[in-house]
């Protein structure tokens, strides 16, 4: 059994996420100190206090049933196949207390498709570099993370070569790409297309050969860390408000509602505000947010009027 | 220099043109159009399976390798649902190869699922369900999502669509509208893949040096201690490189851009009925024989080779 952490109000809250440097930078202190944390990885990472590493695509949550007052799955479900996702949601239902709230956030397929069609229209009318770059990014938003064959994929390539529209990313993903946007990517690094003869030869020095060999062995032993299937960054399915609702309904959740990045029925959400950027009134990562409740009467929650009082 | 796999015996159409037809197979398509493309077109079937014995009309071929034809061979090429099964780099390579084997002013016809149409259909199905949350609208909505994602996400043959069909969660009318006659293939009345696999097992092809090497590596990997094969011999990986999954999706804008970047000119959008390929009315490869609708609803784009050499590769 994994250990649980209690909040100062004596609640037991489950936080699950996979990755996001900026997210951890902004919110890490809150959830690492007060929530019980499960990080979705295939290969365990170096231990961090109060973080359990679980491969949510195949492992169960090693908590007793009816443990948590609420659970938040931040950008997990899109990295699971629909079957794995159904199993995962059922597992969360099990560990929640009756009346416990489950919040799910994932990229919003519906919004992404609308945005793609809009930018396709604009770029077809006026194929300026600015419009075409925006349009190309929206195409990648739909499926690039599903087809990528190495970590970072084409999105990273575009970011590295400067082939993207800075304004678009600033409007929509300014937190996600903040380190990059802040690093003054204004002058993209010059692409070094033809490595010099010397560099090509240096690939065959004993040191380089030894390095390549050991890396290869290590990769065999631990799994290829550049393989998006192993890093779990590969997106396995995309969701929208309907599919999340069906998924939760089928698992047995009730009172399923779409929320925005500020709203939640999780007790004391104002204190955590995990989906709102600390820098401005905007979501850290634009998403669709859906919540459901485990059936059964909830124990009265501190600081929250019980519905029956009205 | 002549490559050793170069095809020298070429078929001509009735009016003496030399055409190339590239596709991935499909039973309804074969049933409806097989007699036409087998008798008048040269055929490359995009596959990583070995050439079945006794199959002389179709050449099983991995189009991620150089096409087995002399430069400037063809008057027209029809690449039916190929490009979405290639990564953008592989697609660039394939288009350059198509450019090479076309004659001057030769025509390339591409067909592929239309990302734009798929997205519009999906958003319409979301709206339909919101307006009237019936069981039918839910199934239609679910299929619109499958249409967009399943061929990209699947890691096993037939993917989630197979599950939905087995559970009879589909609306035949809607499926027919979106997938055309190809939906009959999904229903599994015929399983060309199975049949092919069986015939390949009965008549094993002569092993190539590459296949032998692969077999040795596979044995070695199986013999290695467990920690060395963390990746589990990669059945998923092998499946993903088999050509069944979609590696990218296109719309008219990205497809015309891609063709222009390769060096093609006179790029025009077509329908399942129209083409600039001579004698197309007779071939009519994209229209169902059961009625006036496409065998597989697609985006159709044609382009011409007017320059002598392709544009420089972006890399």
- pLDDT category of residue A94 using cuts at 50, 70 and 90: very high
Residue B248's contacts (CB-CB under 8 Å, 6 or more residues apart) are A143, A147, B83, B84, B86, B87, B88, B91
Tens-place pLDDT, residues B129-140:
999 999 999 999
Q: Which helix (H) or strand (E) holds B74?
A: strand B74-80
Q: Do A222 and B230 touch (CB under 8 A)?
A: yes
What pLDDT is recorded for position B216?
Answer: 81
Q: How far, in Å, CA of A176 to CA of A21, rounded?
A: 8
- Token reading at B51: 């050439």
Write the DSSP symbol of residue B276.
-
Domain ranges of chain A: 13-107+235-309, 110-185+206-227
- pLDDT category of residue B8 using cuts at 50, 70 and 90: confident
ipTM comes to 0.84
Interface test with B, best of A83, A225, A226, A242 (most B CBs within 10 A): A242
Q: Edge to edge, what strands does the sheet with B102-112 contain? A: B58-61, B42-46, B19-23, B74-80, B102-112, B299-304, B265-270
Rg of chain B, C-alpha, whole Å: 21
How many other C-beta atoms lie within 10 A of the C-beta of residue B28?
22
A297 burial type by CB count under 10 A (0-12 exposed, 13-18 middle, 19+ buried): exposed
In contact, A38 and A54? CB cutoff 8 Å = yes
Q: Which residue has the higher pLDDT, B149 or B154?
A: B149
| Rounded average pLDDT over A27-43 | 92
Beta strands in chain A, from DSSP E residues, in sequence order: 13-17, 36-40, 51-54, 68-74, 96-106, 254-259, 288-293
The angle that helices A129-147 and A109-125 make with each other, rounded to 10 degrees, is 150
Query: What residues of chain B lie within 8 A of the CB of A224, using their CB?
Result: 231
- pLDDT category of residue B227 using cuts at 50, 70 and 90: very low
Q: How far, in Å, CA of B95 to CA of B91, rounded?
A: 6
Residue B106 has pLDDT above 90, yes or no: yes
The angle that helices A153-161 and A129-147 make with each other, rounded to 10 degrees, is 150
Q: How far, in Å, CA of A271 to CA of A206, rounded?
A: 56
| Nearest CB to A147 within list B126, B247, B254 | B247
What pLDDT is recorded for position B65?
Answer: 94
Q: Which residue has the higher pLDDT, B94 or B186?
A: B94
Whole-number percent of chain B with pLDDT over 90: 64
Geometric angle at alpha carbon B283, from B278 and B285, rounded to 5°? 115
What pLDDT is recorded for position A299?
Answer: 55
Per-residue CA distances from A126 to A29, A90, A132, A135, B21 (Å) = 46, 48, 9, 11, 34
What pLDDT is recorded for position B196?
Answer: 47
Q: Do A139 and B149 touch (CB under 8 A)?
A: no
What pLDDT is recorded for position B149?
Answer: 94
- pLDDT category of residue A267 using cuts at 50, 70 and 90: very high
| Rounded average pLDDT over B223-242 | 54
| Closest-CA residue to A259 (of A72, A93, A92, A82) | A72
- Token reading at A138: 């929206």
- Token reading at A275: 């989906």
**Of A206-215, B36-45, B160-169, B237-246, the least confident:** B237-246
- Token reading at B248: 């990218």
- Token reading at A70: 């609420």
Size of interface A-B (CB pairs under 8 A): 79
What pLDDT is recorded for position A230?
Answer: 74
Residue A70 has pLDDT above 60, yes or no: yes
Q: How far, in Å, CA of B222 to CA of A293, rounded?
A: 47
Quick one: how many helices (H) and strands (E) in chain B? 12, 7
Write the DSSP symbol of residue B18.
-
| Closest-CA residue to B6 (of B83, B67, B60, B72) | B67
| Nearest CB to B119 within list A117, A127, A223 | A117
What pLDDT is recorded for position A188?
Answer: 44
Residue B26 has pLDDT above 70, yes or no: yes
Query: What residues of chain B lie within 8 A of the CB of A230, using their CB?
Result: 231
Q: How far, in Å, CA of A88 to CA of B194, rounded?
A: 34
Whole-number percent of chain B with pLDDT over 70: 86
Residue B103 has pLDDT above 50, yes or no: yes
**Of A75-79, A265-269, B180-184, the least confident:** B180-184
What pLDDT is recorded for position B281?
Answer: 95
What pLDDT is recorded for position A47?
Answer: 86
- pLDDT category of residue A42 using cuts at 50, 70 and 90: confident
Instruction: Tell me whether B251 touches chain A (CB under 8 Å).
Output: yes
Per-residue CA distances from A38 to A28, A32, A296, B32 (Å) = 13, 10, 25, 54
Q: What residue spans of B203-241 are helical by DSSP H? A: 209-223, 235-240
Nearest residue in chain A measured CA to CA from B88: A154
Q: How far, in Å, CA of A35 to CA of B313, rounded?
A: 51
Q: What is the mean pLDDT of chain B?
A: 87
Give, in words, the CATH class of A13-107+235-309.
Answer: alpha beta
The residue behind tokens 């997210």 is: A23
- pLDDT category of residue A143 using cuts at 50, 70 and 90: very high
In contact, A232 and A42? CB cutoff 8 Å = yes
**Of B52-61, B212-221, B289-298, the least confident:** B212-221
Whole-number percent of chain A with pLDDT over 70: 87
Q: How far, in Å, CA of A84 to CA of A59, rounded?
A: 10
| Nearest CB to A113 within list B88, B122, B247 | B122
Query: What residues of chain B lie within 8 A of the CB of A154, using their CB?
Result: 88
Dihedral angle sign, alpha carbons of residues B143, B145, B147, B151: negative
Q: Which helix (H) or strand (E) holds B300?
A: strand B299-304
What pLDDT is recorded for position A222?
Answer: 58
**Of A74-83, A150-159, B155-164, B221-230, the least confident:** B221-230
Instruction: Tell me whether B221 touches chain A (CB under 8 Å).
Output: no
CATH topology of domain B19-113+246-304: Rossmann fold (3.40.50)
A141 burial type by CB count under 10 A (0-12 exposed, 13-18 middle, 19+ buried): buried
Tens-place pLDDT, residues A150-196:
888 999 999 989 999 999 998 889 888 887 777 654 444 444 445 56
Q: Which helix (H) or strand (E) holds A88?
A: helix A82-95
Residue A82 three-state SS: helix
**Of A216-220, A256-260, B28-32, B224-228, the least confident:** B224-228
The angle that helices B135-153 and B159-166 make with each other, rounded to 10 degrees, is 150
Nearest residue in chain A measured CA to CA from B146: A237
Phi, psi of A269 (to 5 degrees): -60, -35
């Amino acid at each position: 059994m994994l250990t649980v952490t209690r909040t100062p109000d004596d609640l037991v809250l489950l936080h699950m996420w996979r990755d996001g440097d900026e997210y951890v930078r902004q919110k890490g202190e809150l959830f690492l100190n007060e929530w019980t944390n499960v990080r979705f990885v295939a290969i365990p990472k170096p231990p961090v206090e109060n973080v359990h590493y679980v491969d949510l695509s195949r492992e169960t949550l090693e908590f007793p049933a009816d443990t948590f007052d609420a659970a938040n799955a931040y950008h997990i479900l899109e990295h699971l196949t629909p079957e794995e996702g159904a199993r995962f949601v059922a597992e969360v239902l099990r560990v929640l207390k009756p009346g416990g709230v489950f919040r799910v956030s994932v990229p919003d397929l519906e919004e992404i498709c609308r945005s793609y069609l809009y930018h396709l229209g604009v770029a077809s009318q006026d194929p300026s570099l600015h419009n075409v770059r925006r349009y190309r990014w929206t195409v990648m938003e739909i499926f690039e993370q599903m087809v990528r064959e190495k970590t970072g994929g084409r999105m990273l390539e575009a970011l590295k070569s400067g082939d993207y529209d800075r304004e678009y990313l600033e409007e929509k993903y300014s937190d996600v790409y903040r380190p990059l946007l802040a690093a003054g990517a204004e002058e993209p690094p010059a692409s070094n297309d033809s490595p010099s003869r010397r560099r090509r030869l240096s690939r065959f020095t004993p040191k380089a050969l030894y390095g390549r060999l050991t890396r290869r062995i290590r990769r065999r032993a631990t799994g290829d860390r550049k393989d998006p299937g192993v890093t779990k960054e590969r997106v396995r399915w995309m969701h929208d408000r309907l599919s999340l609702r069906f998924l939760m309904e089928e698992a047995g959740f009730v009172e399923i509602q779409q929320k925005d990045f500020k709203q939640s029925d999780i007790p004391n959400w104002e204190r955590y505000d995990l989906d709102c950027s600390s820098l401005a009134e905007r979501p850290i990562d634009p998403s669709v947010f859906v919540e459901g409740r485990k059936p059964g009467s909830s124990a009265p929650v501190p600081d929250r009027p019980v519905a029956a009082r009205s | 220099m002549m490559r050793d796999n170069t095809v020298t015996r070429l078929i001509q159409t009735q009016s003496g043109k030399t055409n190339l037809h590239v596709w991935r197979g499909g039973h309804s398509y074969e049933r409806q159009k097989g007699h036409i493309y087998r008798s008048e077109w040269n055929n490359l079937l995009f596959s990583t399976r070995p050439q079945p014995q006794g199959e002389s009309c179709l050449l099983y071929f991995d189009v991620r390798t150089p096409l087995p034809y002399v430069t400037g061979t063809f008057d027209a090429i029809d690449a039916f649902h190929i490009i979405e099964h290639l990564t953008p780099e592989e697609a660039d390579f394939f288009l350059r190869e198509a450019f090479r084997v076309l004659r001057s002013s030769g025509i390339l016809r591409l067909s592929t699922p239309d990302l734009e149409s798929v997205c519009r259909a999906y958003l319409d199905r979301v709206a339909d369900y919101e307006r009237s949350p019936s069981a039918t609208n839910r199934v239609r909505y679910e299929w619109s999502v499958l249409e967009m994602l399943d061929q990209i996400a699947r890691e096993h043959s037939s993917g989630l669509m197979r599950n939905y069909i087995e559970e009879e969660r589909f609306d035949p009318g809607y499926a027919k509208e979106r997938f055309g006659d190809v939906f009959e293939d999904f229903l599994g009345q015929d399983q060309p893949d199975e049949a092919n696999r069986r015939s390949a097992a009965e008549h094993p092809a002569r092993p190539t040096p590459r296949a032998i090497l692969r077999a040795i590596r596979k044995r070695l990997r199986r013999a290695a201690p467990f920690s060395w094969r963390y990746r589990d011999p990669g059945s998923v990986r092998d499946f993903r490189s088999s050509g069944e999954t979609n590696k990218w999706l296109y719309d008219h804008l990205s497809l015309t851009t891609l063709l222009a970047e390769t060096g093609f000119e006179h790029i025009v959008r077509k329908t399942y009925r129209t083409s600039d390929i001579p004698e197309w009315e007779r071939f009519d490869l994209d229209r169902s024989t059961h009625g006036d609708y496409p065998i597989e609803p697609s985006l159709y784009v044609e382009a011409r080779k007017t320059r002598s050499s392709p544009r420089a590769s972006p890399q």
